Structure 1
Amino acid sequence: MTTSGGTGDRGRSAYDSERLAASYAFDRPPVHQQILKSARLKRPVGRALDIGCGAGVSTAALAPLAEYVIGLEPVPAMLVHRRSVAPSARFVIGAAEGLPFAPASFDLVAAAGSLNYTDLSSALAEVARVLTPEGTFLLYDFSQGRYSRTGDALATWFKSFQQRFPSVSGWRPLVVQELRLAGTGLRLLDYADIEIPIQMSLDDYLRYVLGEVNVDSAIARGDDSAEQARDWCHRTLVEVFRSGEMTVVFRGYLATLAPAGNGCSHV
């Protein structure tokens, strides 16, 4: 779920990392799949595009919704495991602000947290350009797994995690209801807040948080070694998971948009 990618020290993309690519490919909980199950499309479509696809997990999640899926990613390092993650998809290097596709190429376009790194008006106009007149744009995102249904221990721990491993620059908040869609060629059809509960063990959660971009960036800067980061996270999480598995809640949203000239309902 990257597009131009956050930037770290000396202009390095925070997503230009073999370690991060492996974690995004194999250690992320199945949140994309759960959110996309909420998409109220009338039927599977022919061609779909996943903008800022990262390691390809979000691309694979589009497979039930389209016969042919393309993942677009600007950081080549993120795609090293693409054949394992989404073997039936095709992948292209490119940016959201200049999609390398002809007009009206896709019946469905999706972007999962990737447009937060873009020139938003340009990216939205490009989405409108490559959508077919009856096409659908699924814009969605979700927070990090910082909440639990069994108390505040995980939320408290996550605050200390963010202090220990500060966020990288480049990300900007995106509020769907405040999008300036006039002139982009898109209109909003539907919006829903979503909570995705995922049952996770200590080991599951540890693999997940160690693959967060802020941890990887700290390791790349030399602030921590991979072993030091793992030791700190494991030591501080043991008490949080003392009762065993925990239901971790990922809070997100799903917005459905369509070409502005299309008066038909997709949902």
Structure 2
Amino acid sequence: MTSVYDSERLAASYAFDRPAVHRQILTSVRAKGPFRRALDIGCGAGVSTAALVPSAEQVIGLEPVQAMLAHRRSVAPSARFAVGTAEALPFATASFDLVAAAGSLNYADLPPALAEVARVLTPDGIFLLYDYAKGRHSLTGDALAAWFTSFEQRFPSPSGWWPLAVPELPLSGTGLRLLDCVDVEVAVPMTFDAYLRYVLGEVGVASAIARGEDSAEQAREWCRRTLAEVFLTEEMTVLFRGYLATLAPIGRAG
């Protein structure tokens, strides 16, 4: 069955229309580098891979859907990319001292995926597991949150994704242990046009268009018209809330 992510339109939106949240989340981690080799699991269009580039000498992004990599050379020109899944990483044992996964393990079979992360990590490597929620909150009241609720009702996300609770990760037998997990909040000033492009790139919109329930023009017009009632200033600070967990191979010091 064709994935909703097998879409040229969605690949372009993920590459060029999403705010730089990954880079801000990972800023606090970079002081612990530099790392020699880094792997980004489920890299999408490569934006999360690009965020790892300042932290490592060599960065590889892995994505299961080939179409999502269409703009990889523009997004992360110094990185390398491969097609593959988290449950069967196509890399040698102990070949990375940094592995990251940004919201991608929400689609994976966790026990084998986590075991594969442990396998490809060097004995002193670290695994950064992080994610952030959609930009539905702002610093200026609840109007954006109310709008986003109506947006999700109009454009519901397809099945296949499930929430991931870090304290409940099935780590037993995987070779990994949890070192730390912190909440993160990234504040991004966004213009009306930037926010409109961002939400039009959400997977629920792509799914509705793929099913023939809306055309791209109809989706854009609905979002533009209804957002105009909320976006009353030239710029709005949008909040992206999430978490950053640090895991390591069992036996790693520190």
In the superposition, the TM-score normalised over structure 1's length comes to 0.94
For the residue of structure 1 that corresponds to 2:32, the secondary structure is coil
Aligned-partner Cα distance in 1 for 2:30–2:197: 32
Instruction: Report percent identity of matched pairs.
Output: 75
CA offsets 1:177-205 (integer angstroms, 9 cap, x no match):
11121111000111110000000011010
Runs of 4+ in 1 over 6 A off after TM superposition: none
After TM superposition, give the deviation of residue 40 of structure 1 in Å: 6.0
Which residue number corresponds to residue 236 of structure 2? 246
Q: Which amino acid aligns with 1:72?
A: L
CA offsets 1:67-119 (integer angstroms, 9 cap, x no match):
10000001000000000000000000000000000100001000000000010
After TM superposition, give the deviation of residue 242 of structure 1 in Å: 1.0
For the residue of structure 2 that corresponds to 1:251, the secondary structure is strand
Which residue number corresponds to residue 6 of structure 1? none
Which residue number corresponds to residue 87 of structure 2? 97
For the residue of structure 2 that corresponds to 1:62, the secondary structure is helix
Residue correspondence of structure 1 range 90-169 to structure 2 within 5 A: 90-169=80-159
When structure 1 is superposed on structure 2, of 218-227 and 36-45 the one drifting more is 36-45
Which residue number corresponds to residue 8 of structure 1? none
Aligned-partner Cα distance in 1 for 2:206–2:120: 34
Which residue number corresponds to residue 175 of structure 2? 185
State the superposition RMSD in angstroms: 0.8
Verify: 1:214 aligned to 2:204, yes or no: yes
**How many residues are matched?**
254
Verify: 1:37 aligned to 2:27, yes or no: yes
Query: Gapped runs of 5+ residues in structure 2?
Result: none
After TM superposition, give the deviation of residue 38 of structure 1 in Å: 2.2
Residue correspondence of structure 1 range 6-21 to structure 2 within 5 A: 11-21=1-11
After TM superposition, give the deviation of residue 222 of structure 1 in Å: 0.5
After TM superposition, give the deviation of residue 145 of structure 1 in Å: 0.3
Which residue number corresponds to residue 48 of structure 2? 58
Which residue number corresponds to residue 58 of structure 2? 68
For the residue of structure 1 that corresponds to 2:126, the secondary structure is strand
Q: Is the contact made by 2:5 and 2:68 (CA closer than 8 Å) also made in structure 1?
A: yes
Change (3 A) 1:172 1:74: same
After TM superposition, give the deviation of residue 41 of structure 1 in Å: 4.8
In the superposition, the TM-score normalised over structure 2's length comes to 0.99
167, 184, 196: which one aligns with 1:194: 184
